[in-house]
A = this chain, B = another copy of it.
Amino acid sequence: MKRREKRMEWNPPQILITTFLSLILLGTLILLLPISTTDGISFIDALFTSTSAMTVTGLVVVDTGTAFTYFGEIVIMMLIQLGGLGIMTFAVLIYLALGRKIGIRERLLIKQALNQNTIGGVIALAKRLLIFSLIMEAMAIVFLSLVWVPELGWGQGLYASVFHAISAFNNAGFSIWSDSLSGYVGDPVINIVITILFIIGGIGFTVVFDMWQSKEFRQVSLHSKLMIIGTLAINIFSFLMIFVLEYNNPNTLASMSTPDQIQSAYFQAVTPRTAGFNTLDIGSMEHASLFYMIILMFIGGGSASTAGGIKLTTAILIVLATFTFYKQREEVVTFKRSLPYSLVLRALSLAMGSVLVVLVAIFILNLTEDAPFLDIVFEGVSAFGTVGLSMGLTGSLTIIGKITIILTMLVGKLGPLTFAFAFAKHRIDRVKYPKEDVLTG
């Protein structure tokens, strides 16, 4: 009997998922070592922390600053840098360091990770990405040190600067302080440096490089145009929303000075689209603000960035497609460019896949957690968008709740498409079927 030869080659999404899972498991094992924690940690909590760091989410089941030793925190920092700056950049770097040529297979893998549409220039992009990121982090460390070294001394001050610079640039949202950056709600240096870091990290490297190389705005790619205009618009709108909604809230803005009100409303407006730091107490905010933040967390940042969510361009595309149909126009047009059908279908699939994942997560959490619905929805979307903001539920999650959040962070970070493509077989439609209409709405 002849057996069909089984192809053992893995496709890029499979390699990406496997690498990610291996590193998370490695991180878990290291965090379980006595040297990592002050008082020990359970397997599930170590797994949760490792996943949260590697997916740059920032949800924590134990307080990072007190539960972990310096060694443990440095492990977390490294997982963040690995997961955020991208295991793919590292893969490239390793290949370069070993002097090996990068094959088509590896390039496809990187293409997948960076979400680049063309293979050409991926190596160059990866190199520039790494150098650029390290320079950004270094500059941030200098600025943050100006605040934290005088306050905490050289050792602690530098350490805090390094940790938060890496955490911010990678949109990880981990902090060594249990109240995140609430202690610096009115500090302009911290507010500006941290937000610039995570906005640049979260807008996508291609956009930054595109702006760098272009002399005029109209020279940049359509993608960059949408991201720049979109980011500005959503951040300004969100600032106004949070400011107005929280203005009379005695637990947040009402008791503050005007400069502090402006800074904290700004910070809380830009952080939900994946950064995950907070300077206000999330649990004390108005329900309307929290609901608005849930929408922001679901949207997320830019493609090929350290941010999560369905991505700002995906949301813009869906809105554009919707308006196109309502206007009874034929093609989705923006900035004098027509968007191909396949792209609209991709955006739709991505959004729908994401909605499904979030719905399932929220459903399970409703079964397992004895908590208000808003806290649960907030937690589920925060995990999926790898945001890390929480109304306070994370610490009291049940075991099944923790596993649900772990899986949600993973799918959120790698994207539902990666998981779907990892197991999908590409089939060519040989048979042509007649078209038929269906009633909708």
Contact = CB atoms under 8 A, between A and B. Distances in A.
Contact of A353 (B317, B322, B328, B330): B322
Contacts of A345: 321, 324-325, 344
Contacts of A331: 429, 433
A362 B295 CA distance: 12
A363 interface: yes
Nearest to A438: B223
Interface in A184-236: 204, 206, 221-223, 226
A5 interface: no
A420 interface: yes
A367 B292 CA distance: 11
B317 A438 contact: yes
A112 to B, nearest CB: 11
A129 to B, nearest CB: 14
Contact of A435 (B314, B337, B346, B367): B337
Given A352-B319, A440-B314, A440-B347, A287 B327 contact: no
Contacts of A226: 438
Given A326-B420, A417-B441, A321 B348 contact: yes
A398 interface: no
A439 B321 contact: no
A338 interface: yes
A304 interface: yes
A131 to B, nearest CB: 21
B435 A340 contact: yes
B346 A440 contact: yes
Interface in A270-314: 286-288, 291-292, 295, 302-304, 310-311, 313-314
A343 B291 contact: no
A295 B327 CA distance: 28
Tell me the number of copies of this protein: 2
Nearest to A223: B438
A337 B436 contact: yes
A338 B435 contact: yes
A108 to B, nearest CB: 14
Nearest to A312: B440
B340 A440 contact: no
A349 to B, nearest CB: 4
Nearest to A356: B322
A115 B441 CA distance: 8
A151 interface: no
Given A435-B340, A439-B304, A440-B311, A349 B322 contact: yes
Nearest to A327: B424
A374 B438 CA distance: 33
Contact of A292 (B319, B346, B363): B363
A377 interface: yes
Contacts of A221: 436
Interface of A: 115-117, 204, 206, 221-223, 226, 245, 286-288, 291-292, 295, 302-304, 310-311, 313-314, 317-319, 321-322, 324-331, 333, 336-341, 343-350, 352-353, 359, 362-363, 366-367, 372-374, 377, 415, 417, 420-421, 424-429, 432-441
Given A223-B437, A310-B441, A313-B438, 20 more contacts: A117-B439, A222-B436, A222-B438, A303-B439, A311-B441, A313-B440, A314-B441, A318-B352, A319-B352, A322-B352, A325-B349, A327-B426, A330-B429, A336-B433, A338-B436, A339-B436, A346-B441, A350-B440, A372-B372, A372-B373
**What are the 4 A-B residue pairs with the smallest beta carbon separation, nearest first?**
A373-B374, A303-B439, A325-B349, A326-B420
9 contacts: A288-B366, A303-B439, A310-B440, A313-B440, A314-B440, A327-B424, A327-B425, A330-B429, A344-B348
